[in-house]
Amino acid sequence: MVIGASLAAAAQAPARLKTPVLPASEFRVTVSEEPASRLPPFAKCTGDAAETLNCRVFTVKLTNLGSHAVWLGGTVCQPVEITFERQVRGQWNWIGGEPQYEACKQPAHTYASSWTNVRLAPGESTTHTGRMLFKGDAFAAYPYAPGATPMRARWKLRGCLEGAPGVNCIEALETAPWPPPIWANEWTSAVSEPFTVVAPPLPQLEAPKLEISLTAEMMDPAKGLADQPEWLSRACRAETAGSMDCVLLRYRVRNTGLLPVSVGHMTCSDESMWPEYRRPGDADWKSPGMKGYDCTMNYMKWDRIDPGSVLEGETIPRFAGAGVDIHPIRAAGAYQIRLSYAPEICVLSVADGFCLTQPQRADKAVSNGVTIRTTAALAEH
């Protein structure tokens, strides 16, 4: 029952069927590539990117093999839900979200109530033609892969079996706000037979090149800094004033190569950046080491850096890498600090890009050393 609906309306709603509402075995999914497609080209599907799997156009066809008519639901901005998978060492792995649909002109405030329903009688089919790009995502999940790639398509089925002939059995559940009950938990999916896509090799691409520079300053917890994030305020407070937890490190990562790149950092367990230190008179740089840490909401975050452009950020030694052991530099005194930097990195297509190369660990870049002097020690814990 939809919350807020009248008893009369609820009585007219179709019976809630146990999942799966639509048996996947009663549908067939087939896929064909459309090299001559007239879909308007996207800005990001030009130049080197044009032949990537992300930009190739496919038509996916769903056929009702069952003996009953069915109703499938969708919206104006998301008429179907199709994902692609690729086979790696015998396992099928998801490689992308819905195909990139044409720009949806539907106003955002009416999106939830703009339903589209498709009726498939036994033997009838419906098709969708589109690319594999993520909607609204500059970093596509699957980078360019030259050679042959085994793939398959998965069509998510949300709908119901028709009861009375010609009567739409799903529309009574399609009510705002999004999602309606049938969208929440009653769905299954039909999968195509494997097919192979062959991509030509790209021209040789220059290896990514990064450099990192560093400056430092001592924060005053009484004054703070403009736009200081909460995590800095928690570390640099009255009782830690003058200590290593009030040393603000500002870094600048510059793309010195000829091609745009995307750099990836884990939001919690990131070890792509790491502090190093030495005391006056020391010849060698040392790592403060690592201790255990807890992670929640851990995912890869990607940032684009164009040739000659800079990615800026700030941190403190304690948070310059996941699980930094601050103990070796907790005592007051003079130190030199520098940052090593080796993120996940890929070369991007030029126009509103996505990865043309498989993301991999970048060659380590090391910043200049900055001299700091702390006047207070940190507590042992």
3-state secondary structure of 254: strand
pLDDT of residue 255: 97
pLDDT of residue 18: 40
Name the residue among 346, 90, 290 with its Cα closest to residue 194. 90
Q: What's the Cα-to-Cα distance from 312 to each of 195, 205, 249, rounded to whole Å?
A: 44, 26, 11
d(CA 227, CA 248): 13
Cα-only R_g, the chain: 27
Report yes or no: 366 and 285 within 8 Å, Cβ to Cβ.
no
d(CA 329, CA 263): 29
pLDDT of residue 294: 81
d(CA 356, CA 360): 12
Per-residue tokens: 169: 């059995």
d(CA 353, CA 133): 11
b/e per residue 120-152 (b: at least 16 CB within 10 A) = beeeeebebbbbbbbeeebbbbbbbeeeebebb
d(CA 60, CA 130): 8
Q: Would you give per-residue pLDDT tens digits along the chain (381 residues)? A: 233 333 333 334 444 434 346 889 999 999 998 877 767 666 667 776 777 777 788 899 999 999 999 999 877 767 788 888 888 888 888 776 555 444 455 555 454 557 788 999 999 999 988 877 654 444 444 566 678 888 899 998 888 888 889 898 887 777 655 555 555 556 789 999 999 988 777 778 888 999 999 999 998 888 766 566 777 778 888 899 999 999 999 999 999 999 899 999 998 888 899 999 999 889 999 999 888 788 877 888 889 999 999 999 999 999 999 989 999 999 999 999 999 999 999 888 776 567 788 788 999 999 999 999 999 999 876
Main-chain dihedrals φ then ψ at residue 333, nearest 5 degrees? 150, -170
d(CA 130, CA 345): 28
pLDDT of residue 178: 53
d(CA 152, CA 168): 31
Amino acid at 163: G
Report yes or no: 244 and 378 within 8 Å, Cβ to Cβ.
yes
3-state secondary structure of 272: coil
H or E segment and range at residue 94: strand 91-96
d(CA 277, CA 258): 32
Per-residue tokens: 276: 């190093």
pLDDT of residue 96: 64
d(CA 222, CA 232): 13
Tell me the β-bridge partners of 301: 265
Q: Give 39's contacts (C-beta < 8 A, 6+ positions apart).
A: 57, 102, 129, 130, 131
Q: How many CB atoms lie within 10 A of CB 205?
A: 14
pTM of the model: 0.69
Report yes or no: 60 and 195 within 8 Å, Cβ to Cβ.
no
